[in-house]
Amino acid sequence: MSKLFKVFVYGTLKSGQPNHHWFSKDGGYYKFLFNATTLIKYPLIIASQYNIPFLLYSPGHGKNVKGEVYEVDETVLANLDILEDHPNWYERQLEDVYYDNDENKKDKVWVYFIKKFKSELLEKDTFECYDSKGAHGLKYVERYQRSAGDNYKNEIR
């Protein structure tokens, strides 16, 4: 029996978003559990030339962020960590979220944050709920469409 983990996703990993297929890589186990909202406010921004969503670790700023909680096994968690380059880029940590269908129900789940970032990013618009094709018009640029290198990281850190 593999160990199971609960992960809250708020960005491109959500259902219908450009990186959701990472859940089904390598045949690991994953299951949608519930929609949820962070107990604490955080700034969810869209930044860089590639319009990437980032959840900045700045508790109390921004909005209570809405996302989806999945149960995953070690295979799937390892793949999500590869996508997010945890712990070098996004850092995964346990956070409290409320169930959207029952405000009295809370859970501690894994969330990917950006912890080291340029303070000017805190002045950007913050979102409650991410959609790569939302009214903001900042469509996510997928990895295969980007020019080589990790240059966009200089815009964040």
Q: Give one DSSP letter per residue of 130-156, joined into a string.
A: --TTSTT------GGGSPSSSGGGGGT
Residue 77, φ and ψ in degrees, nearest 5:
-60, -40
What is the contact mask toward ligand PCA in residues 14 to 33, using x (rule: CB under 6 A)? x----x--------------
Q: Among residue numbers 81 through 100, which ones bind ligand PCA (CB under 6 A)?
A: 84, 90
- The size of the interface with ligand PCA (CB under 6 A), counted in residues, is 11
**Catalytic residue of the set 84, 103, 123, 142:** 84
Which of 5, 12, 50, 62 is close enough to bind ligand PCA by CB under 6 A?
A: 12
Assess 9 for contact with ligand PCA (CB under 6 A): yes
CA distance 24 to 125: 32
Specify whether 84 is catalytic.
yes
Alpha helices in 68-133 (DSSP H): 74-84
Please state, in angstroms and as integers, the Cα–Cα distance from residue 81 to each residue in 74, 77, 104, 110, following that order: 10, 6, 30, 11
Indicate whether 68 belongs to the interface with ligand PCA (CB under 6 A): no
Note the residues at the interface with ligand PCA (CB under 6 A). Answer: 9-14, 19, 53, 84, 90, 112
